[in-house]
Structure 1
């Protein structure tokens, strides 16, 4: 059985605020990889944030792609966390990627919509990733992945599969190296249909109690989770059986 790598979803977001330095450092303590989201500002600065709009975590109705970094860098994000409120700054992607390289932390970098809508998005991201450590790129947008593959042919491209996407459509995307799917789409039957494609498979949305962890498919290359410590322990037990 090949090793199944664990990635902390938006950092260890089950314990710390998502996509913040606190979440990334907690994930590093667990000894796992990190999944993070990147956006590009109007003036071409790559930042780490999930939503297109800052409203959910900052209260400000502010689109990242419509604003320059200077107007965003002092905005604090946060939410009430265990009866207290902690505010964070939005991390710069370059700083997180360099930190991960120094710590030898593998990254799953999910590209959000602003990367494709920015006129120079793919070029900016490809240039920033030069000399980075271990990473792969993921997205719901197959055409964005295609553009990145053209610029970074040696880099793994992972398509995040939406419900109902025909497998024959995925099979024709020769630039796709791996597939990420939610646990609701994960089944042995689905995996059997994917076998002929010879692509890596990673699951997200696992909390640590799912059947997928009791019967590990050989195609499974990774798990993306809010609770990486739980998953690591479940996998350890699975390997021992």
Structure 2
């Protein structure tokens, strides 16, 4: 399994982005790394295991109290560690000491993840930002400006994506959409996001869509922007994953090995 590389000449920004995004629909993407009982989600072990299997890697990022970026999904640490700390109220050094799921792996920083991957496989970076836009996005841009590998950025937060695309036109951004059943955001925010009403303003490069969700407004918006690539998440069935890849759609998957 191989990843598509960008062409060497310097084409206009739009053409370059299309070429650089080919991997989104060609390379299976591991959900929070290729994790299992040995390698916890969003751990360096899960990321190295994904690399060994030639998979792209999806992972989540959050901002710490001291304005650093950690790779972690939840608001707090209780689900996957023996501690109960809010990420936003904890420093990077505090979080880096916490063991993940009874393993020897600890919560990694974004810098450490990028050092480990070092361009060997593409990365799909999900921004987790439920607060004000600016600090996390600026730190992410600063770090990624020095990274040479392939990457794309996705988020449920269109304001976060808009901030980044305004600063870096060459960064590929994708809007995450789904049912929002488990979301605790306000009714108005949920209505705007669930129906993708900010899409014409954001004009993302791709969509990352919850598999199996059939919402009329979402399907309509996806048809309007049908030229954009689509990734489906989170696929937990191998035959479904293979069918989607064969049809030219990207997949974020977990729980099996795609053959």
- Fold similarity call, TM over 0.5: yes
TM interval, short-chain normalised: 0.7 to 0.9
2:238, 2:256 within 8 Å by CA — same for their partners in 1? no
Deviation, structure 1 residue 215: 6.0
Question: Paired residue for 2:236?
Answer: 207
Deviation, structure 1 residue 161: 0.2
The partner residue of 1:124 within 135, 139, 143 is 139
The yes-or-no answer on 1:37 pairing with 2:60 is yes
Deviation, structure 1 residue 154: 0.8
Distance change >3 Å, CA 227–CA 4, structure 1 → 2: farther
Q: Distance in 2 between matches of 1:42 and 1:25?
A: 28
Deviation, structure 1 residue 209: 4.1
The partner residue of 1:97 within 91, 114, 134 is 114
Distance change >3 Å, CA 64–CA 170, structure 1 → 2: same
Residues 7-156 of structure 1: pairs in structure 2 closer than 5 A: 7-14=29-36, 16-78=39-101, 85-102=102-119, 104-113=120-129, 116-117=131-132, 120-132=135-147, 133-156=149-172
For residues 195-238 of structure 1, the C-alpha deviation after alignment (integer angstroms, 9 at most, x for no partner) is 43121100112123454643657552x111114622xx2xxxxx
TM-score by length of 1: 0.80
Unaligned runs of 5+ in 2: 1-21, 180-190
Aligned length, in residue pairs? 219
Q: Which moved more, 1:172-181 or 1:150-159?
A: 172-181
Q: Distance in 2 between matches of 1:47 and 1:172?
A: 31
SS at match of 1:89: coil
2:43, 2:106 within 8 Å by CA — same for their partners in 1? yes
